[in-house]
Structures are given as structure tokens and as C-alpha cells.
A and B are shown apart, each in its own frame.
Chain A
Amino acid sequence: MSEWPMSESPMSESRISQPRLAPVRFRGRGFVVTPRWYGGLAAFFIIIALWQAAGSLGWVSPLFLPSPLAILQALIALTASGELGQHIAASAMRIGVGWALGTSAGLALGLSMGLWGLARSIGISVVSALFPIPKIALLPLLILWLGIGEPSKIATIALGVFFPTTIATYSGVDAVPRTLIRMAQSFDLPFSAIVRKIVVPAALPSILSGFRISASIALLLVVSAEMIGADRGIGAFVLQAGNLMQTDQLLAGVVVLSIFGLIVARLIGFLEARLLAWR
């Protein structure tokens, strides 16, 4: 039994005697974005279909815009002849070596800048002076120094990768929660253990998002460098195909590049999922 029976309380009478009661109007609609899974797929297929139709129905000349089927055929032929494989191998080697070199150096400098005052002062001035230079502009100079062969291309990629990695590592290390380091110090962890067990894992999210940026820079630079001076590699292949007006082969090369980019992004996503599961 309730102490205040609603029907008899003077309060509720006075409420009922209110002129009119209206339901509260819902005004919380919108601004909650739920992706629809079919949207992206549909857009992809519609674009491909339109593109194919444009070619098949003769809306555009196949020379300027070959149809998706023609590009696919070119891809298959290039793969079968082994030509594509050689170009991919050449590009992958340059990216792999250049990225590894640039990343190692960037990690080392970024970590040092996060840990030591002198390294920080030196690093900040070097990075702010050289980071804004478009690295491809240095390729001619690097060719003079290192020759037209692989080293100059690898060095361009390494330089391009080095700066964003340095910055990502440094800002990651700098943002390591102070209290975690003090905790480790309060348990007398040695310096090397603090770096290994606290600083590096805490900076890892920032380092990995740096990898995303540096990987796309590496891809951009390998193509540019190969267009300037190489006879192998996807960039060189795309340029030659353009010169010969083989637009189906040209676009086949572009497709390979975007697949390459997708694979690298997936790889980094996989690394993040594995290493940053704790977040």
C-alpha cells in the first residue's frame, strides 16, 4: 500500500485539473551515424558497371579510358608473361629496403629525442629544417652522389620515411604518461627496462600510426623515383605504357599500385590489432 494513494491526494487532483497534457516531443533524432554495409559495395559495383558500359557502348574511346574488362585482360596477360612480376619485385625491393632503413633511423632518432635533452634540441632543429623539403626534389642530387642505380632511389624513400617516423616516435615517447615512468622508477627498474617495458609500449600506438603515413609516402616516392630514372618497377612501367599510349597496361599498373597500398594498410591494421589489443 502506498502512503500517498494517487487518486485521493490533493496533489494529483490539481495535476488532473491542468488544462491539457501533451506527450513530450522526441527531439533526439539524428547525428548518430550507423554505416550501412551495402553502401560501399553498391557504389563500387555501380561505378565499375557504368565504366564498363561507357566502354562497351562506345561512349568513350578505349584509348583514353579502357574498360575494366580490358584492364583485367591486360593484367592477366602481364602476369602470365612474368613482366608484371619483375616490375613488382623491383618496386617491392626498393620500398622494403628504403622503408626499413628510414624507419630504423627514424625510430632511433625519435626515441633519443624523447629521452635526452641534447638529442631533442638537435633533432628538432634538423627535423624542422628538412621535413618540409619534398624529398623527390633531392633525387637528382642523390643521383649525383650515389649514381643512377638502386642506392639513390632507396635513399629517397628512406629520407621520405625517416621524418614522419621520427616525429611519430618522438611525440609518442614524449606523451608517455609521467606517472607510469615514476611508478617504474619507484620500483627501481633500470633505465633500459623502463625504455623497453614502459616507454616503447606506451609510444607504440603513435609509432604505428606513423607507419601508416610513412608507408603511403614510400609508395608515392617509389613511383616518382622510378618515373625519373629506372627501366624496372611499377612507376617505370606506368610511364612507359603512357608513352606508348598503352592505356590498358598503364591502368593495370595503377590497379597493381592500389592493391599494393591496400595490402600495406591491411598489414599495418593487422599489426595494430595484434600489438594494441589492450587499448
Chain B
Amino acid sequence: MTIIVERVSHRFDSLDVLADISFEVGDNEIFAVVGPSGCGKSTLLSIIGGLIEPSAGAVRVGGVSPDALNPITFVFQDFALLPWRSVATNVQLPLEHRDLPRAEMQALVNDALRRTGLVDFAEAYPKQLSGGMRQRVGIARALAVKPSILLLDEPLSALDGQTREILMEDLSQLLASTRVSAVYVTHNLDEALRLADRIAVFSRRPGRLREILEVPIPRSERMTPGAAADLAALHERLWSLIRTEAIDAEREVGHV
């Protein structure tokens, strides 16, 4: 479960979006990508997940677990649920074309629902759920296919602050109890500092890799009082790296 991103650049027509990105994500590692909006984070994730072909460079993965049903799996910012399907059948969708015995498919769905606290909502429809519950469905759907690599594109950005806090905790436990590597895109430094082993800081568009910071505290100890001071210092550091980029990105006039 290694991801190697090699000199990836991308442009949409005349718009340079990513410039010469290289990094590696190790086994079981959570790798966060932070950067101002529009710097190409989602594009990079789509390239890693095979949904966009990069203009240059390549992405390779290795060590994929043989029983992964969908080795590289996304969690989307806008959840990407089918509104005409119930929670359980949304989670079932990626399993239906995989030639599984009915009982095994059911077991995978139930297990994913249980791990995300959705058992009581199995028959509900997305429009009946809060944003936080909807993203739980998105996460359950991703877990059901036993991924080796999770690509999370701002999974908590559409949620309000309190819901985000709660989901962040649950997500951190899910990631700790699952053998999976992850690329976690966010513009929220707290999320990165809570969940990631390393944090890559991108410049504004065209996104360049400015720096990779290691978070020297084990993920399981991030919420302990002793970690607070170190995390605050890291937060400071990250913010100073990002601040000017974010200001410039925000003041940028959209291209037509």
C-alpha cells in the first residue's frame, strides 16, 4: 500500500494547475495535503485515483492487498450519494457488480454500517439525514470495498464546526483500526494536525509542493494534554507557510 507520485504536472487547457509534484505515501500512512483553494488539491487526488490523466508524470501504487475489492477508493466532499437509494443500498452500490455471494455482500454492508454508526439508519434516504450522517454513508461506502488506499477530498469541509469535530474523532478511530494508507486533502489545518502522519503544504495555483512537515506525535496521542503545545507550534508553522499564499489566492481574479 504505497503510493508514489512522480513529477506530476497538470494543466487544464491554458491553466496550469499542478507543477512537478513528487512524494511518496508509505504503508498505513495518513498523508495530508493542505493548500489554498484552487491550488489543484482535488485535481491531484483525481490523478492519484485514476479519474484524470496527468499532463506529465505518473502515479504508481504497490503492495495492494489481494482481498481489496476496490483498492483505490474515494471519499467525496459533497458525499456523492444517490438520493434515490437508501443508506444501505448506497453502501451496497460498489459491491453489486463484483460477483459476490449475496450473503457476503450483505455482511460487508452491515459491517460498514456498524463501523460508521449507521445501523439504525440503514433504510433512511439521504435527504432525511444531516450532513454529518450523509458523510458517514460516504465513509461506510468506502470502507465496504476494503480499500488499500483511501483518497479523501475535503471530507469534512461541507459540515458545520461541531459535526466536523465529532466526525474527525470517529474518522481518526476508523483510520487507526483499518489497514489503509490515505491521502487526506483539506484546507483545514486542525484536521491535518489531528489525523495525518505527515502534512504536505502546497503553494497557490499552480500548486507546488512547498514543504512536507512530519507530525512527531503518534496519531493516538494527539488529543492528550501533553501534545497540545507541540501541535500549537506546528499549527503556527503551517499557518505561516500558508498565510501569504492563502491571501494571494483569495485576492486572485477568476480567469474566464
Interface membership of chain B positions 74-106, coded 1 if the CB is closer than 8 angstroms to chain A and 0 otherwise: 101010101111000000011011000000000
Pair A187/B70 contact, Cβ less than 8 Å? yes
B residues in contact with A190, CB < 8 Å: 97
B101-137 CB mask vs A (1 if < 8 Å, else 0) is 0000000000000000000000001010000000000
| With known contacts A197-B93, A278-B125, A186–B82 Cβ distance under 8 A | no
Q: Does A8 contact B (CB under 8 A)?
A: no
Question: With A185-B51, A189-B94, A278-B125 as given contacts, are A180 and B70 in contact (CB-CB < 8 Å)?
Answer: no
Taking a contact as CB atoms under 8 Å apart, the answer to whether B51 and A186 are in contact is: yes
B73 at the interface (CB under 8 A from A): yes
Give bound CA distance, A1 to B125, whole Å: 48
Closest residue to B151 on the A side, CB-wise? A186
- B206 CB within 8 Å of chain A: no
B49 CB within 8 Å of chain A: yes
**Cβ-based interface call for B25 (8 A):** no
B145 contacts partner chain A, Cβ-Cβ < 8 Å: yes
Q: Is A193 an interface residue (CB 8 A)?
A: yes
Within 8 Å CB of A193, what residues of B? 96-97
Q: In the complex, which residue of chain B has the Cβ closest to the Cβ of A187?
A: B94
* Closest CB in chain B relative to A175 CB, distance in Å: 14
Q: Are A278 and B49 in contact (CB under 8 A)?
A: no
Complex CA gap A198/B125 in Å reads 16
Nearest-Cβ distance from residue A61 to partner chain B, whole angstroms: 57
Cross-chain contact A182 with B80 (CB below 8 angstroms): yes
Count B interface residues, CB 8 Å.
22
Instruction: List residues of A (173-208) whose CB comes within 8 Å of B's CBs.
Output: 179-180, 182-190, 193, 197-198, 201
Check A189/B97 contact, CB under 8 A, given A182-B80, A201-B82, A279-B83.
yes
A187 touches B125 (CB 8 A): no
A residues 197-230 near B (Cβ < 8 Å) are 197-198, 201
| Contact, CB under 8 Å: A186 / B73 | yes
The answer for the CA separation of A179 and B42 in the assembled complex, in Å, is 12
Complex-state Cα separation, A184 to B90, whole angstroms: 11
Q: Which of the residues A182, A185, A187 comes within 8 Å of B93, measured between beta carbons?
A: A187
Chain B contacts for A186, CB-based, 8 A: 49-51, 70, 72-74
Q: Once the chains are docked, how many angstroms separate the CA of A179 from the CA of B46? A: 12
How close is B179's CB to chain A, nearest CB, in angstroms?
Answer: 20
Asked if B97 and A179 sit within 8 Å, CB to CB, the answer is: no
Contact A198 B82 (CB under 8 A): yes
Complex Cα–Cα for A204 and B120 (A) = 29
Q: Give the distance in Å from the alpha carbon of A193 to the alpha carbon of B94 in the complex.
A: 10
- Least CB distance from A191 to B in Å reads 11
Q: Across the interface, which residues of B come within 8 angstroms of A278, CB to CB?
A: 83-85, 125, 127
The distance in angstroms between the C-alpha atoms of A186 and B72, with both chains bound, is 8
Most chain B beta carbons < 10 A, residue from A186, A189, A201, A279: A186
Task: Name A201's closest neighbour in chain B (CB-CB).
Answer: B84
Residue of chain B at shortest CB distance from A194: B97
With contacts A182-B51, A197-B93, A278-B125 taken as known, whether A187 is within 8 angstroms of B73 at the C-beta atoms is yes
Chain A contacts of B74 at CB under 8 A?
A: 183, 186
Question: Do A180 and B80 form a contact, CB below 8 Å, given A185-B51, A186-B49, A186-B51?
Answer: yes
CB closest residue in chain A, given B71: A188
A278 to chain B, nearest CB (A): 4
In the complex, residue of chain A having the shortest beta-carbon distance to the beta carbon of B51: A182
* CA gap between A100 and B33 in the complex, in Å: 53
Question: Which residues of chain B have C-beta atoms less than 8 A from A183's C-beta?
Answer: 74, 76, 80
